Every structure is written in C-alpha cells, then in structure tokens.
Structure 1
Amino acid sequence: MASLLTRSIKFLIGGAFIGVLLLALIGTISGLITDPPKPTAEEELHKHPKELDLASNGPFGKFDLAQLQRGFLVFEKVCASCHSLNLVSFRELGALGYNEAEVKKIAKDWPVKQPVFDEKAGTWGERDNIASDRFPKVYYPATGVPPDLSLITKARHDGAAYVHSLLTGYAEQTPEEIAKFPGAKTPEGSYYNPYFANLNIAMPPPLTADNQVTYSDGTNATVDQMAKDVSAFLVWTAEPTMQTRHQAGLAVVLFLLLATVLAFGAYQTVWRGIKH
C-alpha cells in the first residue's frame, strides 16, 4: 500500500512539473505571437554587400593583371600603414607582371622592415626586406593588431563584394534611423558603416577622396574604382593560383567528356549485333 502511494505521489509530482513546463511554453509562444520582439538596429540597418563585377568572377574567371597592379598600389599607399599581408611574399608580385628588379625595389623600399633578433646583444633590430620575405606584420601595441588582409576575401561572406561595399559604405546615420534606434547611435571613436556586422567600425574611412593614388595606366582613380581595384587584388592574395585551378578544372571536365564519348563508342562496338 505504501509503495502504491509513493508511486502515485511521484506521478503527481512529475505530471505537475510537466504541466508547469507546458504552461510556460504556451505562454512564451503566445507572447511571441501577440508581442513579437522588435528588430534590433543590426537586423534593420545592416546592408547586404553590393554585387561586384570582377574579371576573376565565375568558374571561367581570369585575373586582370592591370587591375591587380592598381589594387596593389592602393594597398601599398592606403592600406599597408595599418594592415599586414603576411601570407604573401614579395617575389609573388612577379605574377602580377612586375619584373625581378621592380620586385626587389618594392621589397627594399617597403616602410615596414623585417625584425631581426641579435643573439649577442639580446635585442631586436631591423633589416631591409628582400624578395623572398613575406610582407612584414604591422603592430600597434596600444590598440592591438589590425586584421591581416591576406585571406580577407576568403574569411568574409561575399568576399570581394564585402570589401568593396565596406570601403565605399561609410555614411552618417539619418535622423530617422537615430530616432528609431536611439540606443544604436554611433559611439565616439567609431564610424557608422551599414555593411559592417555591428554597424560601427573603429577603422576611419581609408578612401576619402578621388585621386588618393595616381594610376600609371591613366585610369581615373575614383573612390569606387580604388575600392574595386584593391578588392580584386585581395582576391588574388587569398588565392593566387585560382586562374590555374580554373584552367586545370576545365581541362579535367573536357577530358572526362571525351573519355565518356570514347567509352560509349567502345561499348557500342563490342556489343553490336549481340541480342539481349
């Protein structure tokens, strides 16, 4: 009798616990239906990157070497003071059309030098870069290390389109946006950019005016063009062998198609005249 009473109490307690959970679940669902959560500023104001048409897009894409050289110039003159490119060596610039002497000069004149440790003195020093060196890292001990850009177009969704939109997307919040999301006002020391994940970015606008760089090929260096060119360059740094991979992939597909045709022809020849 006592055992039966104990089991009954256990069932009652379990049923009550389940009932409380069901009531809580029903209340939560009802609340979401009658009073759905308001969208956050990030959800409402964040913009999807604009489409970017580059010669390297698509399975048959090829690098535009002239554009890549322009993009490297923008990186060198605008971006390199803050961002590293530490997975790329200077000699790889030869793939962009620079000759050996030009590569050596670029390496030697690069403002950030290679760190060298003097074992005898126990101190760090510097030396000029050589062609076989990777682009040296940029350090900001007080504020941390800005992101390395070697793989940025692989590390960010939409890749080059994201980089281009971010560089050209700096803006001021409109009075309507501020009124709708008063708590999302851009804090001091940050810059409003709707293409950035949380809308506010610490990096000041790097491309502030047309003709920040001078293109040797006569291309008009508008802000949009400079952003497009450096985005194309960063596609190359992330995957310098992309064009070769595309060509190899096309050759493999053509080979498989030819092999399929030959195999079908052989099958028809071997089994010709044989009734199943």
Structure 2
Amino acid sequence: MSTMIKMVRVLSAVATLAVAAPALAAGSGPHVERQSWSFAGPFGTYDKAQLQRGFKIYKEVCSSCHSLRLVKFRNLGEEGGLGYSEEQVKAIAAEYTVEDGPNDDGDMFERPAVAADAFPSPFPNEKAARASNGGAYPPDFSLLAKARAAHRGFPWFVFDAFTQYQELGPDYIYGLLTGYEEAPEGVEVPDGQYYNPHFMNGHFIGMAPPLSDELVEYEDGTAMTTEQYAKDVSAFMMWAAEPHLEARKKIGFRVMVFLVFFAGLLYFTKKKLWKNVAH
C-alpha cells in the first residue's frame, strides 16, 4: 500500500509540473503566461474569423515594418487557412505591387501582385529596414510563432509531448504585445528603447507599442482592445508558421488509430499462433 501511495504522489507531482511548465521559460527567459487557443491540443483547429482579424491587424499595422516573405497570397484561400475565396484572394493580391523582371530592355519593373506571389517586403533590403527602425531589424513574420518557441529545453519538452502543448510561440507573442509598461524606479531606459519585461532578449525593446484600443476597426462586433488585437495577430502568425496544422493533426490521429488497431491485430495473432505451444 505504501508503494502505491508513493507512486500516486510521484504522478501527482509530475502532473503539477506539467501544468506549471507552460508558464515557465527555460533558463532565465521571460515569464510566459499560457493562453487559450482554438488550435491547441490534438484536435484543435484554426478559428477562421480570428485569422481574418489577425490578417487585418498585420495588413494595417504590422506590414509597414514586418515582412511575410514565405507566405503567398494563394495560401490565404487554401484549406485550413483563412477561408477566403479565389476572388477574394485575387482582390487582396491586387492591393500590392511586386518587383518583376528584367524586361526586354533588361530593366526591373513593378506590377500588381497575383495570387502566386509572396507578400512583398516593406523594405528593399536589411540595411534599409535598420535605417528606418533606429538600427533594429524587424523580423519576418512567416516563421516567428515557431521560432520564438525554440528556447524551451529539458525537461519541459518532455511534459509538452504528453500535454500536447505547442503554443509557446503565440503565448510569447501575445505576452510581448501586451507587456509594455513603465520601467521600475531606478531603471533607465535607453533612448529609442521601450521597457517590456516579456521581451526574451532583455527588458528593453526597440519596437514601440504597436497596438492600442480601437486602433483597427472590426466589423464583426469583436471587442477592439489591445488584448484582442494581440490575440488575433498571434493566431494569424501561428497560421503563417504552420498553415497545414489542421491536416497534420488529422493525419496524426488517423496514424494513432491505425497503430492501436495494428497492435491489437499483432497481439491476437501472436496469441493464436502460440496458443498450443508450450512455454
């Protein structure tokens, strides 16, 4: 009985750590508060309305500094995406211009974007981007939701495998976007920097607070608050980093069902074949 009690206590401690783990970052990183996402868990799916709102935030607020170079306009209308029709995708693409060429004269030229084009960068090169942002280089949004989840190490990734926790990136981005605050007394913020304790590379960040209440108009009645904006654009960034998440989870579930069924067949086959064999 005492052995059983000890095992229960150990399992309870492991479960407690697994629940607490998402709120912790490896090493000396920032505190990451776990949020609720529609795409969380083994059966999670993207909320298309939220993705469209997040795209609106990106287009009207973030795209002036941050690129989305690995996402093509046609991806917006693909299955598991934002739910746009082919005509809507074409209309969105037509709002942008891209550089093409060379033409017959050997010159580069600009033309309206089409669905097959990737989102154009707001700057021609990295030096131009840094010059426009006080020396800071705005990261590309394409994979950021995954890249910002890479710093979790042992033992947290073990718990993540059992809890299916894969949302550290969106959690971190949400915390960063909503985490700007006045610096504590005695802390001097460098010129051109802002205080944000959620920033993983220290408490000072070169990006000014990008969101504020009622900054972008929502037409579906969703609350127009900084927190809602942050959550919507974080979800959109997760989709940009993993547009086939829903398909992956469906395939994974089918594979698990097949493996369980196959393991059962192997077990009963073994029992049948060895039934009359002495051991």
- The verdict on a shared fold, with TM-score over 0.5 as the criterion, is yes
Residue of structure 1 in register with 2:55 after alignment: 72
Residue of structure 2 in register with 1:155 after alignment: 147
Matched, 1:166 2:169: no
- Identity among equivalent positions (%) equals 44
Query: Is residue 74–residue 115 contact of structure 2 (8 Å, CA) maintained in 1?
Result: yes
- TM normalised by structure 2 equals 0.75
Q: CA deviation at 1:109?
A: 1.2
Matched, 1:256 2:242: no
Q: CA deviation at 1:147?
A: 1.1
Matched, 1:227 2:217: no
Residue of structure 2 in register with 1:199 after alignment: 203
| Alpha-carbon separation, structure 1, partners of 2:273 and 2:105 | 80
Matched, 1:96 2:82: yes
When residues 108 and 265 of structure 1 are mapped into structure 2, their CA distance, relative to the original with a 3 A threshold, is: same
Q: CA deviation at 1:214?
A: 2.0
Please list the CA deviations of residues 105-129 of structure 1 after superposition, one character each: whole Å capped at 9, or x if unmatched.
111113xx20124455554431111
Unmatched 5+ stretches in structure 2: 1-26, 150-167
118-127 or 98-107, which deviates more: 118-127
Larger Rg: 1
Please list the CA deviations of residues 58-104 of structure 1 after superposition, one character each: whole Å capped at 9, or x if unmatched.
23221111111111111111111111100000011003110011111
| Alpha-carbon separation, structure 2, partners of 1:272 and 1:198 | 65
Residue of structure 1 in register with 2:117 after alignment: 133
SS in 2 for 1:114: strand
Unmatched 5+ stretches in structure 1: 1-42
SS in 2 for 1:253: helix
| Alpha-carbon separation, structure 2, partners of 1:200 and 1:126 | 38
SS in 2 for 1:225: helix
Letter of the structure 2 residue corresponding to residue 265 of structure 1: F
Find the partner of 1:109 among 95, 104, 108.
95
Please list the CA deviations of residues 155-210 of structure 1 after superposition, one character each: whole Å capped at 9, or x if unmatched.
113311111111111111122xx2xxx5xx111111111111221111111102x2
Residue of structure 1 in register with 2:220 after alignment: 217
| Alpha-carbon separation, structure 1, partners of 2:209 and 2:141 | 16
Across the aligned residues of Structure 1 and Structure 2, the Cα RMSD in angstroms comes to 2.0
Query: Is residue 103–residue 109 contact of structure 2 (8 Å, CA) maintained in 1?
Result: no
Find the partner of 2:39 among 34, 56, 59.
56
| Alpha-carbon separation, structure 2, partners of 1:258 and 1:117 | 55
When residues 118 and 275 of structure 1 are mapped into structure 2, their CA distance, relative to the original with a 3 A threshold, is: closer
Residue of structure 2 in register with 1:47 after alignment: 30
Letter of the structure 2 residue corresponding to residue 203 of structure 1: M
When residues 124 and 191 of structure 1 are mapped into structure 2, their CA distance, relative to the original with a 3 A threshold, is: farther
Q: Which runs of 4+ in 1 moved over 6 A?
A: none
Please list the CA deviations of residues 199-241 of structure 1 after superposition, one character each: whole Å capped at 9, or x if unmatched.
1111111102x22122232111211011001101101100111
Matched, 1:268 2:271: yes
Please list the CA deviations of residues 226-264 of structure 1 after superposition, one character each: whole Å capped at 9, or x if unmatched.
100110110110011111111111111110100111111
- TM normalised by structure 1 equals 0.75
Aligned length: 223
